[in-house]
Amino acid sequence: MSKPGIKIKATELRVGMRIQRLGGSWMQHPFLRGRFILEDPADIQRIIDAGIQEVWISDGGDTTMNATLDDDALGMEAADVLAPPMVAEPVAAPPPAVAPAVARPKPARSMELDVERARKVCHNARDQVANMFQQARLGKAIDTQATLPLVDAIQAEVQRNASAILSVARLKAHDDYTYMHSVAVCALMLALARQLNLDEEQTRLAGIGGLTHDLGKMFVPLEILNKPARLSNEEFEVMKLHPAAGAKALADSQATPAAIDIALHHHEKVNGRGYPHALKGDEISLLARMGAVCDVYDAVTSIRAYKKPWDPAMSIREMARWDGDFDKRVFNAFVKSVGIYPVGSLVKLASNRLAVVVEQGGDSLLHPKVRVFFSLRSNEPIQANTLDLAAPGCKDSIVGPEDPERWGFKNLELLWQ
């Protein structure tokens, strides 16, 4: 096992030092994880600019400054994040076929700020939904109109940067799944309503309906609701009672007909194979058809105790193949609202590199901003680099989505958060 080296502050770095390891996740900074000798003074500033505060240098380096040995310092290696072997030395420049958007990537400040703000809104919304749902579980009436300020706050984030809030809402902890799922479906419904050009009133109803669509799950026994495995057929039959239970609780609370309708019919399918009423086509209201798409997308892309999340772009591709489950017009608008390659998707580029989508590309669904981080030629991580596929002169493009599971990549969200 290699020696851990000496830990110093990044501000104490000097040219000539032999770097053993940089603090933080390698994916968050422009350097490769690995060892290298500091030869360029500009690299010191790049390390500081990347937000790296601690650096481990080898014993042979300059040790005159105030340094401390830290045997536990190696902690989690990048190998814990990415399964493929890490390189020990910096790797050469990206393949020549690619024209990087920037030579020295700067963090996308506005996206970072939007994600941070969206995270606060989502967590606040999750807590309010949890409160409301627990009131329902206790048999108390709930006030869906009281969620309006919350819906407006989520709507403001959707309008500011839909990708930011939709990506944040996709990330859930096991114990708050149902609440965060409600927030996510609310945000998806609002983004979809905008895409469908619904008026302000219908958009609000869609948002409220997203928040309350799964209220009935509060009446499902906890051992079924929180079961960390797939449900048996009998358990699934119990779970299928939640639309009617939610609709009844909403009706008892004098909720709007739209909220009741979305709760009751968000598991209907336009081909008539849904539940509880096996409605077909236009027998299902537009808001309930919207709820069906948003609900399924969020469910399949979320982490659950018994399944890995599907990659967002793979989910879009898969859902497009399901014959007759969704209203085609609604589904197409949904794809336009989240993107063919939603933020967080792992994609393969024509330059034989892997990247994660970090921002939607304005008018072009096929040309988002991506963070390139892995070379398929060398089968190794490379210097993470943000590339705007819609930028004039950019010669690279997306070949298709990739399954993160196949590559053993974990925590890809570190690349866009």
Q: Which residues here bind Fe ion, judged by CB under 5 A?
A: 214
Cα 218 from Cα 135, distance rounded (Å): 9
Contact 55, 130 (CB under 8 A): no
The nearest distance, CB 217 to Fe ion, in angstroms, is 7
The nearest distance, CB 205 to Fe ion, in angstroms, is 18
Tokens of 244: 């009617």
- DSSP, residue by residue, 358-372: EEEETTEEEEEEEEE
Residue 68 per-residue DSSP state: E
Cα 60 from Cα 29, distance rounded (Å): 25
Nearest residue (CB) to Fe ion, 27 versus 185: 185
Nearest residue (CB) to Fe ion, 125 versus 288: 288
Q: What angle do CA 202, 205, 209 make, to 5 degrees?
A: 140
Nearest residue (CB) to Fe ion, 120 versus 174: 174
Nearest residue (CB) to Fe ion, 214 versus 311: 214
Nearest residue (CB) to Fe ion, 114 versus 214: 214
Nearest residue (CB) to Fe ion, 43 versus 325: 325
User: Tokens 């659950």 map to which residue?
Assistant: 304
Question: Considering all CA atoms of the chain, what is the largest pairwise distance in Å, rounded to the nearest integer?
Answer: 77
Describe the strand order of the beta sheet including 36-37 as a list of residue ranges: 36-37, 18-22, 54-57, 6-9, 68-69
Q: Which amino acid is at 396?
A: D
The DSSP H or E segment spanning 70 is none
Provide the angle, in degrees to the nearest 10, between the axes of the packed helices 286-301 and 200-212.
Answer: 50
Contact 108, 358 (CB under 8 A): yes
The nearest distance, CB 177 to Fe ion, in angstroms, is 12
Nearest residue (CB) to Fe ion, 266 versus 371: 266
Q: Specify the long-range contacts of residues 281-285, CB closer than 8 Å, at least 24 apart.
A: 281/327, 284/327, 285/258, 285/261
The nearest distance, CB 147 to Fe ion, in angstroms, is 18
Tokens of 256: 């709007």
- Whether the link from the prior residue into 90 is cis, omega within 30° of 0, is no
Tokens of 151: 């819906």
Contact 175, 228 (CB under 8 A): no
Nearest residue (CB) to Fe ion, 214 versus 261: 214
From the number of C-beta atoms within 10 Å of its C-beta (0-12, 13-18, 19+), residue 345 rates as: buried
Nearest residue (CB) to Fe ion, 16 versus 221: 221
The nearest distance, CB 214 to Fe ion, in angstroms, is 5
The nearest distance, CB 91 to Fe ion, in angstroms, is 47
Q: Specify the long-range contacts of residues 110-113, CB closer than 8 Å, at least 24 apart.
A: 110/161, 111/161, 111/163, 111/164, 111/358, 111/359, 111/416
The nearest distance, CB 191 to Fe ion, in angstroms, is 19
The nearest distance, CB 246 to Fe ion, in angstroms, is 8
The nearest distance, CB 276 to Fe ion, in angstroms, is 11
The nearest distance, CB 299 to Fe ion, in angstroms, is 8
Nearest residue (CB) to Fe ion, 157 versus 214: 214
Which residue has its beta carbon closest to Fe ion?
214
